[in-house]
Amino acid sequence: MAEGRCERADAVRNRRAILEATERLLTENPPEQVSMERIAAAAGVGKGTVFHRFGSRAGLMRELMLERALSLHESVAHGPPPLGPGAPPGERLLAFLDAVVDVVGRNKGLLAALGQAATAPRDPQEDAREQHSVYGFWHGHISGLLAEERPGLDAELLAHVLLGALQNGPIVRLLGQGETRRLAMSLKLLVTGVLE
């Protein structure tokens, strides 16, 4: 029994080391230079361990993004207002968009790597899980807050428009130049205009 616990603890340590090494390498290098071999070496594990745990480079990048998004989900569900419960929906929406821009801005290399991974063949079930867990959550939260604040709006479409802006080529380049505050202010102006 103790041996099983030790293996689980070791697997948890390896997973954490791999994710941290990936994030560090993506911060320091262009995504195309961050190979599975480099990640394994930086994490202090074998390349086979990385593939066994995440399946592929694309799977690793998606898992890292899910990890980053999870902390935002926790803040939305249980954190203090205005991001968490208790603030008016318009204030929560502005705080959430700021937080999303921050996550995206801090993970530019990860997003670029995810963009490269998007061309790789994918399992439809994996797509559905990812859609539900990241984009689906973000879209649902934004559209819910929009609908609550302005019931007559097409909140579902507006949420797609707002999130789509974060995947736009010129916006991604802007984020790559460190212009996260500029993007956050522009989104705030758009949303404030919509909610008036």
20 and 75 belong to one structural domain: no
Question: Considering its fold, how many domains does the chain have in total?
Answer: 2
The domain that holds 36 is classified in CATH as 1.10.10
66 and 32 belong to one structural domain: no
Residue 196 confidence class, pLDDT cut points 50, 70, 90: confident
Q: What is the mean pLDDT of residues 49-73?
A: 87
107 and 158 belong to one structural domain: yes
Percent above pLDDT 70 for the chain? 83
111-159 pLDDT tens trace? 655 555 444 444 555 544 444 467 888 899 999 999 999 999 999 999 9
Percent above pLDDT 90 for the chain? 46
Query: pLDDT: is 5 or 71 the higher one?
Result: 71
**pLDDT at position 7, please?**
57
133 and 113 belong to one structural domain: yes
Q: How is residue 136 written in tokens?
A: 């689906």
Domain that holds residue 4: 1-55
> How far is the CA of 127 from the CAs of 70, 133, 135, 140, 151, in angstroms?
17, 10, 11, 17, 31
The domain that holds 93 is classified in CATH as 1.10.357
Residue 79 confidence class, pLDDT cut points 50, 70, 90: very high
Transcribe 103-153 into DSSP letters: HHHHTHHHHHHHHHHTTS---HHHHHHHIIIIIHHHHHHHHHHHHHH-TTS
